[in-house]
Chains A and B, each alone.
Chain A
């Protein structure tokens, strides 16, 4: 909330995020001026994925992305002490203690892009699609949250995990691309693409009416399994916390 105290900075962020999204849209427009589709994905399907990926980023910012920056800093400074001392779930506190309101504009921007892309696509049964999309969007957020929790639980022992946070941020940004359109035989790349596909491509597909059931079921199962595993890992990792000298 404190981001709103400094108005100029807050509004500047709004402009920066809007321009950034427009650059992405312009890039895809250039690509689709040359080709009609990429591995079966049309221009507006790709823009829909961009919208969904951006929406996920926006929701992440106003919910738990601050966790990514704040938590390692609090571990290093020892300010995590106060969270541990409070009668509240430590994981919940650490993840949701602060929200990044600077990115608030991202959500309406992405919704405009999603609505615009859907208008350009021949979509049927929209209410059902939206319902499915919302369920899968929740799964996407849970998957992203769980991956972040797993990575951050390492900070209790290793303190500095900046490189992992960079990796995580790359993963979040990659969700703006239609990764499902990339065809690769590399096992490593496929393994890396699976969560990204689950996070943005699968919900976007459901929104325009393509129900790819193995992927949908996989997303739901991955969300539940990853969440439980990351919770368990986090709770165990707490024992490694050594605070910081005063």
Chain B
């Protein structure tokens, strides 16, 4: 049944997005380099299968802001595109707001928005306001509602004075803000943000993050965010889904990543005196020396040994200050992707 017979909503557990065993495979052809390779590929083409998304399942509840993280080619964007109905899956079942996305029913399409940081939906040679007006018509937004939403969004993003400027004359940050307004003009219930901060400077990234946070809290919209910037994820998402090679590696609270993947802690020490070569050598008994640059010393120790190692250090070394820290999320995730031990 298309929308579960409930007017487009899934009332079973309030999951706005439900993905069950989703897979999307592509066939990609390989070409040898050079002219000979080009000629050969005309007649004897070699194909290989790419499992862009491989048996992915998760659920997202109303109002959640979930971070979707993974390296390039992990399958994040393909998943978002399938959830938006742009791609037909190879296998699996997906419901967004109770609809099957790739059936592309207008009632469904009016309730979500897709923002892609690397692509433009605005008319390049016209002012952004022209694109907003077009979207107003496409999404059948009443005139008053359109004006209120536009005023509110332009105010929040600080771009009121730029509405009548040609899009190509705007900076990347300003253009991204306009892209967001174009996507939100119909007040979608579900928002897919695919790397919305890519290429932005740190100030613009921060503003964008603040806006997404406020928007999510104020409108209780359900948001999936993909980003390569861990600051985006740390600041915005309580829950993250880690995906790599098309498979979900982790789905849970951001804090749980540390517990699940990091079996080490960091002892961050400020020394009173520079260490001798012998003292340095003995440090290996505690764990690995991650960094030593007097007066700073960072040791990587097994999670269960951290308290004991800290006590020993305080006893045997000239320690001015000592902190036991969890490993940085960035490091954990990077090392999860590279398959190394996590610290």
Contact = CB atoms under 8 A, between A and B. Distances in A.
Interface string B91-135: 000000000000010111110111011111101111000000000
A79 B179 CA distance: 14
Interface of A is mostly: loop
A85 B109 contact: yes
Interface of B is mostly: loop
Nearest to A240: B88
A1 interface: yes
Interface stretch (A86-94, A118-126, A144-152, A206-214): A86-94
Interface residues of B, number: 33
A84 B116 CA distance: 14
Contacts of B81: 81, 243
Contacts of A77: 119
Contact of A87 (B119, B124, B139): B139
B50 to A, nearest CB: 10
Interface residues of A, number: 20
A239 B86 CA distance: 9
B244 interface: no
A84 B73 CA distance: 22
Interface in A203-246: 239, 241-243, 245-246
B23 interface: no
A104 B130 CA distance: 21
A81 B104 contact: no
A78 interface: yes
A86 B138 contact: yes
A78 B118 CA distance: 10
A84 B85 contact: yes
Contact of B104 (A82, A84, A245, A246): A84
A246 B77 CA distance: 7
A86 B195 CA distance: 20
A30 B106 CA distance: 57
A82 B87 contact: no
Contact of B119 (A5, A82, A86): A82
B300 interface: no
A90 B104 contact: yes
Q: Which of A79, A245, A246 has the most CB of B within 10 A?
A: A246
B138 A246 contact: no
A78 B194 CA distance: 14
**Which 9 A-B residue pairings sit nearest by Cβ, starting from the closest?**
A2-B125, A87-B109, A87-B106, A82-B121, A84-B86, A87-B110, A246-B118, A246-B77, A85-B114
Interface of A: 1-2, 5, 77-79, 81-82, 84-88, 90, 239, 241-243, 245-246
